[in-house]
Structure 1
Amino acid sequence: MAARGHVQDPNDRRLRPIYDYLDNGNNKMAIQQADKLLKKHKDLHCAKVLKAIGLQRTGKQDEAFSLAQEVATLEPTDDNSLQALTILYREMHRPELVTKLYEAAVKKVPLSEEYHSHLFMAYARVGEYKKMQQAGMALYKTVPKNPYYFWSVMSLVMQAISAQDEKLAQTMFLPLAERMVEKMVKEEKIEAEAEVQLYFMILERLGKYVEALDMVRGPLGEKLTSELQSRENKCMMMYQRLQLWPECNALSYKLLLKNPDEWQFYLSYFDSLFHLMDKSWSPPNEEEHCVEGPVQTTVAEAVKFVVDRMEEEDKKDSRPLRGPYMACLELIHRLRQRGCPDEEELGDPLELMLQFFGKFGDKPCCITDLKIYLHLLPPEQHTQFRNRLGELVPLGEVGEDGFGFPGDTKALQRHLCVCQLSRVLGLQHTLDTEGKLCLITELKAHYHYGLQFGKSCLKTELQFSDTYCLMVAHVYIDLWTETGDENMLWQCLGVLEEGLSYSPSNAQFKLLLLLLFCRLGAFQPVVDLYSSLDAKHVQHDTIGYLLTRYAGSLGQFAAASQSYNFSLRFFHSNQKDTSEYIIQAYKYGAFEKIPEFIAFRTRLNQSLHFAQVRTERMLLDLYTEADITSSLEESVKAMGLCPEEDDIPWDNMRDNRDLTVLFSWDPKDRELTEEHRRLSLEEESVWLKVRSLTLRLLASLALLRHAPSSRNSDKTNENGVSAKSSTLQTLLSHHTGPLTVVVFGSCHCQASALQLSLTLQELETTGLGKMRDVDFRTTGLQPSTVCVVLWVASYSASVLRPLKSSLQKKKKKTKDSSTAMPVVLSGFQEWTGSLQGIVTQALDHVKGQEASLAALKLEECGFTRAAMDKVQTSYLGSLQELGDLLRKRADSLKSLKF
């Protein structure tokens, strides 16, 4: 805001101190300075707006908005006021008001290129594509520059993309966009690559692949230069869409001759080859095969082509390329799938893999390259393959501990690759307990020996031998799951803590520690681990579940709130950030990125994780604050909860979780499958439904508590009580209906308590005379369940107190002291007494657990002891926070007696 260069305008000089104060975060001084300036210059609109920005930043939103609207109604045209109002409205999350500002400015100054441009960008922020199209054309007519014309064209494309009626998009918006571009083509006004990219996008969306191909091949295609092989890639895409397999094959062949390491072209070469074979296609005798050159149509030609590429790499003095060697394995894989005997001409897969390892075994990518082709080896060759690989690893002489160690980092990487391949082949999993413990000893020895190669590494760099440490942890986890021996888990934690001490930036160590601590119920160290991962942007959606999934249930309420904020901060900024990306894409002509940004925003808005975190955060706030710092009604109102509305997009839910973020070298039969993913998503969705319904039920309960009494009135629908109880009844039927998860445990207890509130609402309407027996029995010691039951008890008290008062007045009038207390009132008193007893017992149990944990003396030492200390400290913290919450709830329970 302050970066305004040399100031000449007197008003700019006067405003400069206010800008400086705002830039430095001194908002109070900015307000004072603005007030001083406005006393002398009452008509200085920008000063008012800058004051409003200061008020907004100090939490006085209503006052700031009122002051801003004073200026906005005057329809200012000075740049200072318009820019300041734009900043203010963005901070208020009211981008729609910026459009009105510039609409007025454009009317007053119709020839201003700047104001027209700002108006277009303001529409872009709110996604008004039709108005963007009109604003773009108006700007082009004012200042006839190509970019402005194509802004309008792109806005038409966006109308097509966002149109709910696909027929309308295909028959109106896209054809109109195509005609607009064709007009510029005919007039030879196409200037930039971005304009050609947009033309290609339009043709592709219209399904006019032949026209798109002709365009790319023609003079316009020569402008596609920003990306390497952009023109060829687009041609390849169109060939595949049009199923022009001869052209696809010839182009792939030609490009592979130029660059034999381009993997995508090997895949298109093989795809096209087998399509041609399936169609029995043969080249014409005299004419050229196709426009791209000669076509290969037989397996023999393909085998020769791949073998020739490998031989050329073997002859090179420089570092060989991996592409040809992997292509050989890929071709064997495809031939085997088709049952072709020609695979023997390429060689034995085992020998080819050994050759590959010999050339590339010192690269970390070797394991990922070979892993996808290990299925080519029969099980009886697995041990032989591992032994043959071991022979290619240069290790030193065997020492006293029985192990030989690598002499440099390249040899270390080769040995690591052998160990990883051994695990992928399942050879480590078949070992017995003793064998696995021996393996752990060997891997630990190699890990510690390898640390000497990383003595000069920075803290941000990984140690060369980190993977040994990670594999040790995986073997310990195998032993823990197979034997149930918890000592294996503690040893695993110790190993990971040790690894993290030498390699503080290793994300895999942190992720595995995070998961294991959560499994142990220790959430306190998890928040620090996640923070140290320094997750960026979309990672909060893809890996955030590792943190938030366990947050609310492990007793660390403050840490849980912090972890929810990690994720919510990203999701809430997504809308604003994406709008800025779209604007930048328009400015720089990156039109093909705009639909990607829109799709990205939609993907995040429909994220399963977003819905989970938002729901859990509101529930946590209610459990820890409602009826403690503020009433349940006030808390629900502050959250803007409406029990009738369900804003979770159930039909379009997106599971963006990265379930493979943790390294794994498990064999194929132990890998994560699509069925596992489907079941996981199903379980998460069911639990989200339970939690969402619980939240809406609590909002309904709050509205019942807030509703005026319906006694002495026949018009219950007019005061809303009937409607609100109907909402509660409907939600309860959803909660206890198809969701079998709520049949037992705390969910069932909460549902029973909420059902009680409905019964009492009926009692409030009918009076004591018609209902005397109410079942107050509820059980459950979960903190959330205690909160729900106490809120129901509070509502019960609000219903029963007036009824008891009315009964006492009747007794005084009739002077009848022998009338027994109604069963419902005595039942409520017994119920609240039992609740008090349950909460007291829970508090005593928490205190006892705290004392036991505090007195616990650990015998372990080293890194395992450090892990145990973290778990112990976390347990103590959880117990303290649980105890604090229960004490506060016990205090609120005392106020319910009457």
Structure 2
Amino acid sequence: MPSPPSRFLAALDSWLAGPVPEPIIAILIPVIELIDGNQLKPALDQCGKLLKKWPRLYLLHAIKANLLHLLDRREDVLSIFHQFNSPGHPANSDSDYLHFISLPLLAQGQYEELLSVYEKAVSTITTQNQHLVLNVFLTLGEIGQLKDQQQVGLKLHKAFPNECRYLVWTLLSMILQSNSSQVSSTQGSILVSMAHRFLQTFLDKKANQLKYMNGSQFGSDSDQSWFEGPNQFWVVVKVLEVVGQWQPSDNSRKIIGDGKLKYPPSLFTKEHYSPQLALENDQASKDLNMASDKNFTHSSTQSLSSKAPPALSIKCRRPQVSDHACSVREDYFEIFDTVLGQEMRTKYLGLELMWRERGVDWANADGLKEIINRMKKRLINGDRNWHTMITINKCLVNLLQIDESGIEEVNLVDELYSVLDKEQTTQKNTERGYCLARADLRCRPRELTASSSRFEISTLSASLDDVLADYFHQFGGKTCCFDDMSQYLKLLTVEEADSLFIKLKQMDEAFIRSGSSSCSETSLIQHINYAKVCRVIRSVPANNQTTEAITMLQEYFKYLPLGNSLPETALQPADDMAILAVEALIQDWQDSEGKAGSLYIAAYILERCLAKSAHRYHARSLLIRLYRLLGNAPRFLSHFLNFGIKKIQHDTLSHLALDRCSMFFSNVWVPVNGADASDCLPTNVSHLINGAVSIYEPIEADTSRWIYNSYLNGNYIQVEDLNLFKHQIAFSLERKILTMEKIRLQLFEKISSTYIKKVNFENGTFTRENKTLICDLDEITRNLMQILENCHLAIDNRDFTVLPNHQPRKNLGPMHQTSLGPILGSNWLWIMGTTYARVLLPESAFSDHPSRSHPDFFSECTREEVCLHQYSEILSSVLKCTEDDELSSYSQHIVGFFERWVNEVRALVKPCEKDTEPPSKLLPYQLLAIIHVTYEGFCLFELVLQRLSNVTCKVKKNNTIIKSLTKIKSQILLKITELDLSIQRIYNLSHEDNQEDNEKKIPNQTKTRSFCLFASHTSEINLLSFENELKNELTNGTEIANDKEHDDNVGLEGYLKQVFKEQMCTLTNLNKLIKQILI
């Protein structure tokens, strides 16, 4: 029995603590005692008995509705609501009833009914129902109904004008609405105008309060304490930021405003702080002076003097900006430059960064120079904060765009960086910021429009390659070296890249001559950074990638003994060398037009790496991607489970394994540490998809609760952050992609269950009922509509940096190279969504995507997905067909869809029977994709046929279509039979060749590889060259992770045999879907 949610119990406790008449408490005590004892069903029965005696006790009806919700009787909850929802019913004037009936409606997501309740609750606001209306406001914020929340806030403010928090809450709801992409230009203009006027009202109220207060009275009322923390101050400057930034799409429309804010200067002075804040800031000033006297290093937020406002203000008037916006921006900077504003920036880093960001964007030439001067003073006083340097560089680039004389300022700043860098070098400090800031200063102009030559800063004393070489000379022995340099390496010109390579090579040779390159961890880090930088900036010939991989692998084994004494949970220092070797092999596969041998050896190297560094997530994420390419479902699923992704991480990381994972639908178990299938809990992609999709609703519910509490606690900054987070979760691109994959899996499950009731594992050890997914077509259609709704607004939260990228800068990175097709985006969502919606919702009209005619519209889809989309259009046309000739033409196209894929597989098999190289250099996943699209096409066909055959929708036209589809179904099944025979032939060829190798027992020096359809002869030679170069390391010794119980898997040869076996297992498991159709 589920326990009552804390919200319901809290509401009961709060109600009992209030002024409740004794007779009503006496009536409800028996029910409340049963609820406290978690006896929900007896409590519900007791409610029924009591309601027979007191049917007009509406609060009791609401409590009954809560109990029904807890017992999962949703329809009964709605029946109680509708019973009393008629206009003029006395229950609608009972605030207790309204409050308690809203709880189950909120929990069930019945927002329309909830808003109906709230509309009645706030129709009249008095001190008696103030608490109820306050809860209405908070709940509306919780569920994201910001417009309704703003209106309730205004009503609260008008009813209780002396409570400033209601005015602040109203301002906050306006701020949140202005950030919404769903607010039109006209609505937004009105909104920001209202916010500006209400801000003036708020400051007027604060000024009036302070006028009649003295210091001893301060803080006696929590609502009257002025800016005890950053939240109220943040609301003031945030409103100004929103108004100052607002640019309506209709330029002719002006924002209606009141001009500059009017407030007494004393409002932002020290005498009106709360005593606590004044005490803290006095102590902070003393600590700051002491730190300066002792030359202590302090952060950027501690180096701002708070004794007096700066002499010069930040100028921000520009010709292209309206007078009203300029006035608002001036108010923004003036308030930040008051004593209180400086104290807030000193104490709270977020406010300091907020001021800097707007200063960079809004300031004119004079204002930018003032910001630069303030930041330079910080650097001179010992500030080493990287953000301070970035702020200077951003200001300089903006200054160059509006004032050509800014080049002088650029030279001065670069000289300052250089001097500070030399000082920290002589003092043997390890501050990297100054040297990196010089590189950043040279790169930022290159990111702007290349049409203006003045953006290229050519007067600086050192070029970009000189600065980067200097940085490597100082910090090449630090693990962060490459990560610091990587973003700037991409912006080097060809000449600069060649020059940098020569300089680094000279450094490396000098390093070797000095004897510092002995086998130590410091020399290893230096060598790794050198190898990474050189790989990015120079172009390696296509035929040299294997050689480079062998060199990196030799270095890996050379430095591997450095980690012998480390605990098992530690990471090996040499792992990056193995990863560099793998990236070279991936590039070799790309350059060799699809030869798969390099991928097999790359996967083997990563397995060896993980055997010693089990927590090296870079290696594991790469391995997941490689096994997907190689069509090895057991291994990529196993590694993904071992990746240990938790809750919200699914939104950023699940794309590594779960994008397009429906092609692995039939693989229902994961071997762990070599365990047999019968020893494992069944796990497949359906479980993983369900687990990933299920994390979103609890996260949204938790975030809503945090928003509710943040309002109550006055954490207004947190309210904005949480609303943004909730918006990113609600519109998550990965969430929609996972839901789409779930729909595809559910359709497979539905059609599969039509043909077979049990799934037999290959080894025959056990069977299980096919209950992987429960297919609910109504749920599928709801999910489809959610996907298609605002899919163009989807927010991409995916983390693509989890895969290491040291590929040459002109090449695609490993994330793109190891994808099962183009990277998915919003266009893919629309294409796949409409592919299914045309079949599942034939009565709905779907307008073409606005970009449908664009030549790159299908660039996010594979050829199989494009073909499936076109196929669904044909099926949709069949459902609307009225002419026999058209129906015959469509039928031919449907059969042609299956014939295309059968012919491709047949063409792949025939050369293999003659022991020649396949004409199409397909990777295993590409064959799986062909089987997958064939099965998916049949599922859509079968779904159409089942729907038309439904008795409730049989009409004369449908009978004609059914006869036609039934006739071509036999032709489709013949094509699928051919596909099944071709796949079976692939499996038999592999099995026969493995048997032949085992019988011959060829000596090592002439041994051939186990047959694999996708490893061509050239690729096998590459594998042999690896073994010949590193024979002892690759063929003996360390067992591979996940295979420790299998002696025949030790070394490269045993590993390949096992991988090929698992590959064929994945293929045959997927082909079982085809066999189910034919049985």
TM normalised by structure 1 equals 0.74
- Residue of structure 1 in register with 2:74 after alignment: 61
Give 1:663-812 correspondences, 5 Å limit.
Answer: 663-671=804-812, 684=825, 687-700=828-841, 724=843, 749-759=871-881, 776-777=891-892, 778-779=895-896, 780=898, 782-794=934-946
Give the secondary structure class of the aligned counterpart of 1:498: helix
- Residue of structure 2 in register with 1:432 after alignment: 544
Give 1:171-182 correspondences, 5 Å limit.
Answer: 172-182=193-203
1:164 equivalenced with 2:184 (yes/no): yes
1:148 equivalenced with 2:166 (yes/no): yes
> CA offset at residue 213 of structure 1?
0.9
Cα distance, 1:15–1:515 mapped onto 2, change above 3 Å: same
Q: For 1:91, give the aligned amino acid.
A: A
Cα distance, 1:833–1:670 mapped onto 2, change above 3 Å: closer
1:317-366, Cα deviation, whole Å (9 max, x unpaired): 5x43111222344456679986766534x6x8767555534543332211
Q: For 1:422, give the aligned amino acid.
A: C
Instruction: Confirm or deny: 8 A CA contact 1:154 1:198 kept in the other structure.
Output: yes
CA distance in 1, matches of 2:437, 2:554: 35
- Residue of structure 2 in register with 1:496 after alignment: 606
1:546 equivalenced with 2:566 (yes/no): no
CA distance in 2, matches of 1:125, 1:274: 41
CA distance in 2, matches of 1:144, 1:753: 65
Cα distance, 1:745–1:832 mapped onto 2, change above 3 Å: same
1:310 equivalenced with 2:421 (yes/no): yes
Q: For 1:93, give the aligned amino acid.
A: G
CA distance in 2, matches of 1:804, 1:155: 57
1:486 equivalenced with 2:503 (yes/no): no
Give 1:873-892 correspondences, 5 Å limit.
Answer: 873=1062, 875-877=1064-1066, 879-880=1068-1069, 882-884=1071-1073, 886-887=1075-1076, 889-890=1077-1078
1:616-669, Cα deviation, whole Å (9 max, x unpaired): 432332233159469xxx954453469999933255454444444311112322
Instruction: Confirm or deny: 8 A CA contact 1:641 1:699 kept in the other structure.
Output: no
1:184 equivalenced with 2:184 (yes/no): no
Give the secondary structure class of the aligned counterpart of 1:320: coil
Cα distance, 1:261–1:182 mapped onto 2, change above 3 Å: same
Give 1:505-584 correspondences, 5 Å limit.
Answer: 505-536=615-646, 539-556=649-666, 559-573=684-698, 575-584=700-709
Instruction: Confirm or deny: 8 A CA contact 2:839 2:875 kept in the other structure.
Output: no
Counterpart of 1:262 (choices 382, 385, 389) is: 385
Q: For 1:343, give the aligned amino acid.
A: L
- Residue of structure 2 in register with 1:382 after alignment: 501
Q: For 1:834, give the aligned amino acid.
A: Q
Instruction: Confirm or deny: 8 A CA contact 1:423 1:429 kept in the other structure.
Output: no
Instruction: Confirm or deny: 8 A CA contact 2:465 2:497 kept in the other structure.
Output: no
Cα distance, 1:84–1:771 mapped onto 2, change above 3 Å: closer
Instruction: Confirm or deny: 8 A CA contact 1:497 1:867 kept in the other structure.
Output: no
Instruction: Confirm or deny: 8 A CA contact 1:113 1:142 kept in the other structure.
Output: no
CA distance in 2, matches of 1:636, 1:604: 25
CA distance in 2, matches of 1:805, 1:660: 55
The percent of aligned pairs where both chains have the same amino acid is 15
CA distance in 1, matches of 2:403, 2:958: 95
CA distance in 2, matches of 1:490, 1:118: 61
Instruction: Confirm or deny: 8 A CA contact 1:495 1:863 kept in the other structure.
Output: no
- Residue of structure 1 in register with 2:519 after alignment: 405
- Residue of structure 2 in register with 1:290 after alignment: none
Cα distance, 1:688–1:363 mapped onto 2, change above 3 Å: same
1:423-461, Cα deviation, whole Å (9 max, x unpaired): 2232766772563254133233145223325x2263xx5
CA distance in 1, matches of 2:148, 2:445: 56
- Residue of structure 2 in register with 1:125 after alignment: 142
1:31 equivalenced with 2:41 (yes/no): yes
Cα distance, 1:431–1:648 mapped onto 2, change above 3 Å: same
Instruction: Confirm or deny: 8 A CA contact 1:124 1:582 kept in the other structure.
Output: yes
CA distance in 1, matches of 2:403, 2:357: 21
1:478-510, Cα deviation, whole Å (9 max, x unpaired): 333334553322221112122223333322122
- Residue of structure 1 in register with 2:1041 after alignment: none
- Residue of structure 1 in register with 2:483 after alignment: 368
> CA offset at residue 200 of structure 1?
0.7
Cα distance, 1:306–1:35 mapped onto 2, change above 3 Å: same
Higher deviation after alignment, 115-124 or 265-274? 265-274
CA distance in 1, matches of 2:642, 2:542: 36
Give 1:588-627 correspondences, 5 Å limit.
Answer: 588-626=713-751
CA distance in 1, matches of 2:865, 2:409: 63
Give 1:237-252 correspondences, 5 Å limit.
Answer: 237-238=358-359, 240-243=361-364, 244-252=367-375
Cα distance, 1:248–1:638 mapped onto 2, change above 3 Å: closer
- Residue of structure 1 in register with 2:971 after alignment: 834
1:475 equivalenced with 2:584 (yes/no): yes
CA distance in 2, matches of 1:592, 1:659: 29
- Residue of structure 2 in register with 1:810 after alignment: none
CA distance in 2, matches of 1:86, 1:446: 68
CA distance in 1, matches of 2:607, 2:750: 36
Instruction: Confirm or deny: 8 A CA contact 1:447 1:469 kept in the other structure.
Output: no
Instruction: Confirm or deny: 8 A CA contact 2:807 2:813 kept in the other structure.
Output: no
- Structure 1 gap ranges (5+): 22-28, 283-294, 399-403, 702-723, 764-769, 808-821, 892-898
Give the secondary structure class of the aligned counterpart of 1:224: helix
1:139-172, Cα deviation, whole Å (9 max, x unpaired): 5655954433311222233454454234633663
- Residue of structure 1 in register with 2:110 after alignment: 94
CA distance in 2, matches of 1:423, 1:638: 50
Instruction: Confirm or deny: 8 A CA contact 2:476 2:525 kept in the other structure.
Output: yes
1:202 equivalenced with 2:239 (yes/no): yes
CA distance in 2, matches of 1:17, 1:447: 69
Cα distance, 1:645–1:465 mapped onto 2, change above 3 Å: closer
1:458-485, Cα deviation, whole Å (9 max, x unpaired): 3xx5433332222222122233333455
- Residue of structure 2 in register with 1:343 after alignment: 460
Which protein, 1 or 2, shows the higher relative CO under an 8 Å CA cutoff with sep ≥ 6? 2
CA distance in 2, matches of 1:245, 1:191: 29
Q: For 1:206, give the aligned amino acid.
A: V
- Structure 2 gap ranges (5+): 18-24, 211-223, 245-327, 447-453, 669-683, 756-774, 903-933, 999-1009, 1011-1047
Give the secondary structure class of the aligned counterpart of 1:183: helix
1:326 equivalenced with 2:436 (yes/no): yes
CA distance in 2, matches of 1:690, 1:880: 28
Task: Provide the alpha-carbon RMSD of the alignment.
Answer: 5.1
The size of the alignment, in residue pairs, is 804
